[in-house]
Amino acid sequence: MNIISEKSKGLRGSVTIPSDKSISHRSAMFAALTGGVCEIENYSLGADCISTLNIIKELGAQVDFIGEKHLKINAVDVFKKDRYKLDCGNSGTSMRLFSGIMASREAESTLFGDESLSKRPMKRVILPLELMGAKFKHNDYKAPLIIQGGELFPIDYKTPMASAQVKSCILLAGLNTAGETKVTEPYVSRDHTERMLKYLDADIVTDGNVTKIRKSKLTPKNLKVCGDISSAAFFMVAGAVVPDSDIIIQNVGLNPTRTGILEIMLRMGADIEILDKRLECNEEVGDIRVKTSELKAVTIEGAVIPRLIDELPVIAVLATQAEGTTIVKDAQDLRNKESDRIKCLVTELRKIGVDIEETQDGFAIEGKQNLKGAAEVECYHDHRLAMSLYVAGLICEKPVCINEFQWVDISFPEFLPLMQAVSVKLN
């Protein structure tokens, strides 16, 4: 599906963005690990999160929708077979986290996915799991992964990079391993796993960038998923760069390990206000009001990078409207996402007139720029790149055609109608 993004004369009103993808994945996985019955409210209907539901069903859980985004999961009969084939679709989160779960189970598991997922690196989770005693067969550290699960040994592991998926994978293996498993990161990555495991009564302790877990039995509890700040990011940036905008984004997760984009936008001078801040299921939640803003360039590097890694493509669009040179460093992990997001982002933004320079670990953008548009751009099967290009089209002089926009359905199938609902067109 190819779609056209064209200049808007303002974003107005309020929007409720979809459920947080990271928290949705974990809520279904951990509900299955309780071995009991849990309800999950506001579960994401993105394709990746549906892949996780399909996996827990394959593991023996019964999943029933009792409302549009309201699930009931009965996990009494999980992990009863000695062999599983688990289809992760396009979901790297599913593959990496279930690797940790299945490595400590007495079963043989084959984890596979689509063509895109099969090209993504899994070495970062395979190596620590092998140190714990897990046995793998793989295709040069890529899927399909065949895991011969069993009793593991606890490890004290220092991750080479801050990665919530790597940390979570090890912690989930440690959850079913006797002794204390310890993970130390160079910086603190998103901590949804730690928060939810603690909420479900796991024996887990976090001190800064160090997390320790001991073998635990999770308590079945009902869960509520907040809105995804990674999805909200596209509306936050659009609200700041499209002239005459004033929007409220409701029910957004404000976990401090995820609010890097909020901090960067405030540093850049964005007109942002947090409303009705509250705590739900151990996660901070609130509403975000954004108005058209006068922005200034910043350097984005170091500890903040893991807290906004998924938002960097749309931050690049934000940077085009900031006075000065915005520089992104230490973001080499962008090259290991659904696409090489650095190379692809630079290639496609240049087509619409952006002055952007590619570096080994990021990019540099000159602002403030008038974007010409009048181009046909590619999304490389990358949902976040597709949505970032759509936001860029809202401030281009001429329309932008985005090819294969259906990849947005991976994480945000509601994106287009929600954006169109708050965007005022020129004609």
Residues 365-377: b if buried by 16+ CB within 10 A, e if exposed: bbbebebebebeb
Annotated active-site residue 310? The verdict is yes
Are residues 388 and 235 in contact, defined by beta-carbon separation less than 8 angstroms? Answer: no
CA distances from 181 to 80, 106, 215 (A): 25, 19, 9
Helix 164-174 / helix 123-131 crossing angle, nearest 10 deg? 30
- Rounded CA separation 196/22 (Å): 11
Tell me the longest C-alpha to C-alpha distance in the chain: 65
* Preceding amide of 372 cis, omega within 30: no
10 Å Cβ neighbour count for 327? 17
Instruction: Find the radius of gyration of the CA atoms of the chain.
Output: 21
Q: Are strands 246-253 and 8-16 parallel, antiparallel or unpaired?
A: parallel
Catalytic residue among 191, 228, 310, 409: 310
CA distance 16 to 46: 15
Which residue in the block uniquely carries the two structure tokens 């720029």? 369
Nearest CA-CA partner of 389 in 341, 336, 334, 423: 341
Contact call for residues 411 and 8 (beta carbons, < 8 A): no
Q: Is 379 helix (H, G, I), strand (E, B) or coil?
A: coil
**Cα separation, 221 vs 37, whole angstroms:** 8
CA proximity to 391, closest of 257, 240, 290, 283? 240
Using DSSP, state whether 281 is helix, strand or coil. coil
CA separation for the pair 48, 87 (Å, rounded): 11
Asked if 103 and 79 touch (Cβ cutoff 8 Å), the reply is: no
**Active site residue ranges:** 310
